[in-house]
Amino acid sequence: LVRSYVPGEDTEDAVRAVGELAADGIEATIDFLGEETVEPEQATATVQAYRTLLARLVAAGLADRAEVSVKLTAIGLRLEDGERVALENARSICRAAQRAGTTVTIDMEDHTTTDATLAIVQELRQDFPDTGAVLQAYLRRTEDDCRALAGPGIRVRLCKGAYDEPIEVAYTDPAEVDRSYVRCLKVLLKGEGYPMVATHDPRLVEIASALASRYGRAQGTYEFQMLYGIRPAEQRRLADAGERVRVYLPYGEEWYGYLMRRLAERPQNLSLFLTSLISKK
Ligand code: FMN
């Protein structure tokens, strides 16, 4: 079970999985699973893990098939002077990614981090213009954020959102979240940026394809993203149809304890686990 959703604990496991996906014409974005950072040393170790990973991707000739996804809380956002620490650490990862010839996307976490995260992404984009942002359709603010991030070349991953958010800031009715997702898709696909459509929801995938052709977007001027091991046949179907597809691939040592805690909380709910793998609640 574990190996179907996380390819392994080591850098080599992640690199091997990237190679396997590449053979199917699918790209990757790799997330190093660290624990919530409570000490600066842990943040530094996470940065080092990303640097090692990027070097290994280059050595394996796969740096053009994979980018990395980074959570700011894993590189210091919640430490003292956290915004500065996280920005400096993120810069270091972006520099390594640029040298490797690939990109970084900054994951979005719970709503208390949205402003800081977007501010840091904007700062990073000064030096590394292809740094990706993530917007969550369940937040009421997100349609506006999409407008602000629909400019030329801006990489934006649109997802529904994975955290338990209060009704003041988020839509809680799934139908409302879907409607918001479609409104956001329209803004991003009509815009001049590079939308990354992250969902497994068959209806939203279909709507995204239809909107892309309605707005005259060629395949490859946007992409689909799904989690490693979820709907793999659909991932291959989209890739075979000429779409650009990227899989979010988590790996790391913290994986096992993490999975066990999630399953202990809600043993009946595997999809909750899969979502929490992303959100690290
Ligand atoms: N949720 C977040 O809150 N922040 C993220 O950065 C994030 N990144 C994701 C990346 C990918 C490739 C995918 C597929 C999902 C991501 N999610 C993220 C999780 C989604 O918000 C959502 O919980 C999950 O995809 C289930 O919804 P679905 O029915 O649209 O697939």
CATH, residue 141: 3.20.20.220
ipTM for this model:
0.99
Task: Tell me the sheet residues that pair with 245.
Answer: 224
Average pLDDT over residues 57-64: 98
Number of domains the chain is built from:
1
Confidence of residue 255 (pLDDT cuts 50, 70, 90): low
Ligand 1 center from residue 109 Cα (angstroms): 10
Other CB atoms within a 10 A radius of the CB of residue 168 amount to 7
Average pLDDT over residues 101-115: 97
Q: Is the CB of 107 under 6 A from ligand 1?
A: yes
Q: Is the CB of 111 under 6 A from ligand 1?
A: no
Ligand 1 center from residue 191 Cα (angstroms): 22
Which residues, in sequence order, are CB contacts of 187 under 8 Å at separation 6+? Answer: 143, 146, 147, 150
Other CB atoms within a 10 A radius of the CB of residue 96 amount to 21
Average pLDDT over residues 17-41: 90
Q: Is the CB of 199 under 6 A from ligand 1?
A: yes
On whether the CB atoms of residues 181 and 220 are closer than 8 A, the answer is no
pLDDT digits (tens, 9 = 90+) for 146-193: 999 999 999 999 999 988 899 999 999 999 999 999 999 999 999 999
Write out the H or E segment, with its range, that includes residue 134: strand 133-136
The chain-wide mean pLDDT, for the chain, equals: 91
Q: Tell me, what's the pLDDT at 10?
A: 87
Ligand 1 center from residue 161 Cα (angstroms): 6
* Ligand 1 atom nearest to 159, measured from its CA: 21
Q: Which domain holds residue 41?
A: 2-279
Per DSSP, 10 falls in state S
Confidence of residue 6 (pLDDT cuts 50, 70, 90): confident
d(Cα 195, Cα 11) in Å, to the nearest integer?
A: 28
Q: Tell me, what's the pLDDT at 36?
A: 65
Q: Is the CB of 225 under 6 A from ligand 1?
A: yes
Per DSSP, 222 falls in state S
Question: What pTM was computed for the model?
Answer: 0.93
